[in-house]
Structures are given as structure tokens and as C-alpha cells.
Chain A
């Protein structure tokens, strides 16, 4: 028997549904499970038929909001009814995990287990069977991993360590510039690190964006866009294209790095001038 899957949507933009469609060889994933409902892909039921169904894996995309209608049902009640019977709940995208961007408008919008960084009333009953896949959107490979995974190690936000133990900084093409503290003077070039001025949150954001590339080809930082920290409970912060600094030092340190250690290394790195890192990459010598 193939595991039955229902993909339910709460307060969402549909971004995770469309992200999931980018999964290479998605046909395999469609065959491996019995898809009762997906908002974009072929599936066997209509919304109205879902309330008395049972599924092995319940996917939630989007936040939960009291009183939010899903067809003729109350979304939260429908979700809880299905979740109770499911073997596994997968919260896909930062809205389903923390409440996400729409929480900025209405604080009653929450994720399954978390409301921002706080535990919700569902934590006790659902934490055991819920895997959180935050991201705005979540990467298709991360979603496929969560559907398949059994007994994976989770962090304090129920995120699989295999995906979220890395920082977005790991694998960034601009690491040399970070090591030698060479900042990107402006947007639109291949050179320089975006952590010092352009607001990049890669060094302290959990995610494997530069390990498992987006659309098999790129990532934000690989095209010169700062990381906006979309896998974390405080996404979206404010002033996203500027680094908050104290006396010229980024206010948020790379993950786990004490400020004193950072300052020492920075002082040493900056005392050396590496000419190659101050030139355009493709310039002739």
C-alpha cells in the first residue's frame, strides 16, 4: 500500500506548491505516494471530500488562522481532524512552521507547532509526529526528504538537522571575501561579501541553499542577492537590504561565533591586503 498524502493549504501564497512542482523526476514522487489532494498536481479528491478521509502523511502549506474557511470547512478544525489520524505531519514553508509573512498582518496566524518562536497549543499533541520544513518557499528536495524521512534528527524547531544544521553561508561562492573581510561595494557584481553592508543573513541562517542548489542551478547569494533569513522564526525582519551594525561591526554574529573571536579574526584579516580580492574577478592581470 502506498502511503496516502493530503496536501492542505492554510493562509498561503501557494509558493511551496509551485516550488514542489520543480522537483526533478517528480513522477517518481507522484507514483510513490497515493495523492488524495494537492493544489496543483493531479490528485484524486476534491476539497469537499477531504473531511472524512484518512491519510498517512498530512502536509500543511500556509499558516493556521482561527475562523479561516477552506471550502465549506473551518481550516483549523479540518487540519486537526486529519492530523490526529495521520502518521506524520509535514509543515511546509515558513507560514506553516511559524506563521510566516502574513503574521505581520495578523498575529492570530500561526504555524502548527510555533507562533513565531513560541510554542502553540498544538505543540504537545503534534510535536512527536511533525517535521518542520521552513523556507519561503521550502526547497523541493527538502519537501521530498520530509515526505520520505523516518526517524530523522530534528533541532529545537523540529527542523531536520540534515537540512538545517548548515548555514546558508556554507557553500556560498563569496566565502573568500568573507574570510578576508572584503565587502561588496554595491549590488550587481560577482565580487565581495554581502554580510557587511547589503544585509546578508547567510552566516546566521539555518539552511542548505548553497549545498542543495535552487532549480538545480543557483541560490540567492550566487546571483548577488543577500539571504533574507527566510527559514527562521523572525522572517521577515525589517530593513532587509542593509546590515545593522554597531561601530561598523555587524550586529548579528555568524552562528555560534563569540563576538570576541570574530573581532580578533577580523582585525587580523583586515590587516592584510589581498590584491586579488580587491580586483574584478575576470580582470586581466
Chain B
């Protein structure tokens, strides 16, 4: 048994692996920490969750903010107008873009020993966060969205500034990664592909080939793929379970493990580039890594579309009372579906439960059902465990909220 400390994954995790003849025989993931966010919320005014919950995670706090907002709005039976929806999607998509770019270069390229143009990568990160801040005031840790709308009231000038920023990021992105044309990869996509091929990693890390997405927005619809068939996904079929020696809970859908995240989303959307990769490499690290970086292009296009079509004369906010009751909702975060559950009694939070994307992807096997991470690791070369693990873009802090 070998214990690997996996660091720089928004915190740390331990991976217990046993190997025989160079191949992984068994694997178990442990998260050593717990910070008690769900407990901090109990007894507080529901709106306090808009400030506390982003602090679950420094890289996807925006998704936690919006999951909180949507859960409280669902309780009140409120649907925001198009302007509010678009502003929220713009800032959330910005957060996903910065996450994917950081992961692609600072983690994947770094681990595979590939050099990259740090300056351009950093300019993209800085600019996309600046775009979000035009609406959200700051990134990380904004609380600009609240039940009933958003606090900002953008003017034409700010929309224009945002359009310039997204245009600039799109141009930099194409210059770095080239076109998503499977027969004609160039630039950084080609360098990545060649490195995976050199190291014999193209087909490694295949998992259960089951995908799930619970969030619904203008980019993706809530659904799952089991045995190649797409069906709606229902929140009430989700179950959490405790795991030995780990502070992270496992999670299943109707007793089965599913992968969530960019690979799931692009498969469910039927994006051609990812489907072509999947046909050849199935749900290996190749498809998983390329799906995540492919998503950046689509999200940047979405942000641009929203900026072109937004009607800023609509109200930013409608006053809303939060009633007592219990509900749950989901939103798409960078790493996949993020689920928040709340129970309000006498105007205060009585219970709060957060289920994060990494919990889906890193659950340990249970009751004879193999899990996503376990299946991806078993049988792989022992030296490949680190990159397989990281191909899921793990978030330790989210998982151990």
C-alpha cells in the first residue's frame, strides 16, 4: 500500500493505492479536513448564507453563491427575469472559464512537463475575472446575487467594457490552443495530445461511462446518460453516505455512481468535438481533459451572446420574502453539478446541506458498485495515478466544506 499526498488541488487529499506488477489494484480517497460551513449557517438569517457560502471555496465561490440564491428563490417560487438570468450566467461562466484555464495550464501542463506562455495565460485569467467584477464587484467572493435578482445595475458603458474583455479573451484563447478540429489539432492542443501519446496515456483513466448533470441553464439541461441513453435527472434520487477515514461524503444516484463536470456536460449537449474523442478514447483522461478546455470556447461564446442580447432596462431586483420550508436545487459549477439543500424554520436556517461535484467524481466504491475514481484508477499504470486523479479537476476545499 502506498499513500500519496495529492497537493495543489485546492487543498490536499490522500490517495491510498495498492499496486501489483506496476498496475493499480485498489484505490481509496481520503480527505483529511472539515471546516463546518453547514453548521455555521444554522440559526442565521437565510440571506447570511449569501456571504457565508461563497467561503466554501476560493475558486468556485460564485457557484456557491448562485446555488444559494436559486435554492432560496425556489422556496419562494420565484423565477428571475431574462436580464437577471443573463447577468448571473455571465459571471458564473466567467468563473468556470478562469477555473478551466488555470487547471489546464497550472495543473495539467505543469504535471505533464509541458511549457506554456504564462503571460498570455495570466492575462486571460485576469481579464475574465475583471469581466465578472464589472457585475459582481469583485472576484473571488462576491455576494452580488440575492433572492429576487442582482445588486448591480449595469449601464451601456459597462456592457461595452465587458464586450471588449470577452473579445480579447477569445482572441488570446484561439492563439494559444488553436481550433477544436480533431483531424487538425494545432498549438497547445496538439502539444498536449502528443505528450499523452508519447507517455502512452491516451487510453488511460477510463471510468464507468455514466454522466450526470443536475443544473439547467442556457448552456446545459439537467439529464443523465446511462448505457448510452439520455434521460432526465431528478434531484430526489440523490443519496449521500459517510465514508471511513475521510471527511468527505460519498454520493450516488439511484444507488449508482455517475461522473459530473465538463465531460458530462459536453456529452449531454452532444458537442461534436467531444463525441468524436469519446468514440475513440471513451471516458479516458484524454476525453476528460479535452472536454474541459473545449468548454472554455463555448462558454466565452455564451458570455458574448448574453452581452449582445441583454436588455438592461429590465429591473435588476424584485423584493422577495423567503418563506419557511425545505427544498433543494442544483447549479452547474466549473467541476460539475453543485447541489444545495435548505430548511428554513421561523425565518432562520434550520439545516443546510451542500453536495459538491468532487463528491460525485471521487466517491469511494460502495456495496459492490465501483465508483468513478476507482474505476478510472484500477488497472492503470501506477505512475499514472496522479494525472488520472487530477483529470477530474479535484477541489478539496469544496468537498470538505
- Report the minimum CB–CB distance from B389 to chain A (whole Å): 15
How many Cβ-Cβ contacts under 8 Å join chain A to chain B? 182
CB neighbours (8 Å) of A15 from chain B are 55, 57-58, 61, 140-141
| Cβ contacts A90-106/B at 8 Å (1 or 0 each) | 00000000000110111
Q: Are A14 and B137 in contact (CB under 8 A)?
A: no
Q: Are A137 and B151 in contact (CB under 8 A)?
A: no
Q: Are A19 and B140 in contact (CB under 8 A)?
A: yes
With A11-B35, A27-B119, A215-B130 known to touch, is A188 a contact of B151 (CB < 8 Å)?
Answer: yes
Residue of B nearest to A21 (CB): B125
A 120-144 contacts with B by CB, 8 A: 136-137
Q: CB within 8 A of A13: which of B12, B61, B102, B139?
A: B61
Q: How large is the interface on B (under 10, 10 to 19, 20 to 34, 35 or more residues)?
A: 35 or more
| Cβ contacts A103-117/B at 8 Å (1 or 0 each) | 011100000000000
- Report the minimum CB–CB distance from B119 to chain A (whole Å): 6
Q: Are B138 and A215 in contact (CB under 8 A)?
A: yes
Q: Tell yes or no: A283 within 8 A of B by CB.
A: no
CB neighbours (8 Å) of B39 from chain A are 105
Q: How many angstroms from the CA of A16 to the CA of B59 in the assembled complex?
A: 10
Interface size on A, residues (CB 8 A): 59
Tell me what chain A mostly uses at the interface: helix, strand, loop, or mixed: loop
| Cβ contacts A134-169/B at 8 Å (1 or 0 each) | 001100000000000000000000000000000000
- Report the minimum CB–CB distance from B207 to chain A (whole Å): 26
Q: How many angstroms from the CA of A188 to the CA of B84 in the assembled complex?
A: 10
CB neighbours (8 Å) of A216 from chain B are 130
Q: How many angstroms from the CA of A258 to the CA of B316 in the assembled complex?
A: 36
| Cβ contacts B36-51/A at 8 Å (1 or 0 each) | 1101100011011011
- Report the minimum CB–CB distance from B50 to chain A (whole Å): 7
User: Which among A11, A21, A188 has the greatest number of chain B C-beta atoms within 10 A?
Assistant: A188
Q: Are B137 and A222 in contact (CB under 8 A)?
A: yes
Q: CB within 8 A of B135: which of A41, A71, A102, A223?
A: A223
Q: Are A188 and B5 in contact (CB under 8 A)?
A: no
- Report the minimum CB–CB distance from B308 to chain A (whole Å): 20
CB neighbours (8 Å) of B122 from chain A are 21, 26-27
Q: How many angstroms from the CA of A27 to the CA of B120 in the assembled complex?
A: 11
Q: Are B137 and A225 in contact (CB under 8 A)?
A: yes
Q: CB within 8 A of A22: which of B33, B48, B126, B397?
A: B126
Q: Are B55 and A13 in contact (CB under 8 A)?
A: yes
A 216-257 contacts with B by CB, 8 A: 216-225, 228, 236, 238-242
Q: Which 10 A-B pairs have the closest CB atoms?
A: A188-B317, A105-B36, A188-B316, A15-B58, A14-B58, A214-B138, A215-B133, A224-B151, A223-B137, A223-B152
Enumerate chain A interface residues (CB-CB to B < 8 A). Answer: 9, 11-19, 21-22, 24, 26-27, 39-42, 46-48, 68-72, 101-102, 104-106, 136-137, 186-190, 214-225, 228, 236, 238-242, 282
Contacts A/B (CB < 8 Å), 9 sampled: A15-B55, A24-B126, A68-B33, A217-B133, A221-B137, A223-B136, A225-B142, A236-B51, A240-B48
20 new A-B contacts at CB < 8 Å, known A13-B55, A15-B141: A11-B35, A14-B10, A15-B55, A17-B58, A18-B140, A21-B125, A39-B7, A69-B32, A102-B36, A187-B146, A188-B150, A189-B153, A190-B153, A220-B144, A225-B144, A228-B51, A236-B48, A240-B51, A241-B47, A241-B48
